[in-house]
Structure 1
């Protein structure tokens, strides 16, 4: 994704990604199906990386590697429903040579609908953890959240 096409934005160190809940996102009761929160958060993380200047596609196509989730801990707090406008707020909370930890919360106005701690590991094409590109580390360093 080229940063010019990224629909999100940074507000300070937090990345905000707006989305609307469509029929396809819901179960029979009109509530967002739990697995779709992972999709919403993935879109927000990809958008955040693009805005930070990270070209995941180029690195993948060069055979260097890609991110893979090692862990995702999600807490569901309130239902989101068909037609809701949600904002996924993402913070980079820790940067390590081969991984990043990101806190994400899905908001409806001031209500936290869901929140997660995600660990994304940079892996080689064979699936083994490896150092992230140095340029990525340089771009991420100023974005690490230092508050509570």
Structure 2
């Protein structure tokens, strides 16, 4: 195991979180055997998992503290609307990129357009709307700083951790 330069503790790489480019979040991933069905293609529901991971990391590195909001009892996001289009299949060992961009922001909602790509080929596209909900499941206004973050992303600004 490699050691870090500063200490004698092992160097542990951080999981991939993706990055922003022109206001879009780009999240790389690889297709594993567990992602495929008997035909060797990615099972259709796994594209939703890929998109969820990308959205979660996009929000986290943009500064939207979902975990803190949950732990403090302020609220959580829930998917309220989803439209997905399958165009081409992905296969075992494919390197994919999930590109996410904020399409619209409201007082309690945020719409995100996501594209799963292999190189330049579009495999799947989805439009997801999430609503910020109280712990009791009622809509609640999103924190103002979060709305500001979403607005910056919609204008194509990059946000860096």
Matches within 5 A, 1:1-148: 7-145=17-155
Deviation at 1:135, TM superposition (A): 1.6
Structure 2: how far apart are the matches of 1:5 and 1:54?
Answer: 18
Contact 1:86 1:108 in 2 (8 A): yes
Unmatched tracts of structure 2, length 5 or more: 1-13, 157-161
SS at match of 2:149: helix
Give, in angstroms, the shift of residue 137 of structure 1.
Answer: 1.2
Q: Distance in 2 between matches of 1:22 and 1:116?
A: 21
TM-score by length of 2: 0.85
Distance of 1:98 and 1:7 partners within structure 2: 25
Question: Alignment RMSD, CA only?
Answer: 1.3
1:6/1:50 contact within 8 Å kept: no
Which ranges in structure 1 are unaligned for 5 or more consecutive residues?
none
TM-score, reference length from structure 1: 0.93
Aligned residue pairs: how many?
A: 143
Would you identify which runs of 4 or more consecutive aligned residues in structure 1 move more than 3 Å?
none
Of residues 113-122 and 131-140 in structure 1, the stretch that sits farther from structure 2 once superposed is: 131-140
Larger Rg: 2
Query: In 1, Cα distance between the equivalents of 2:48 and 2:118?
Result: 16
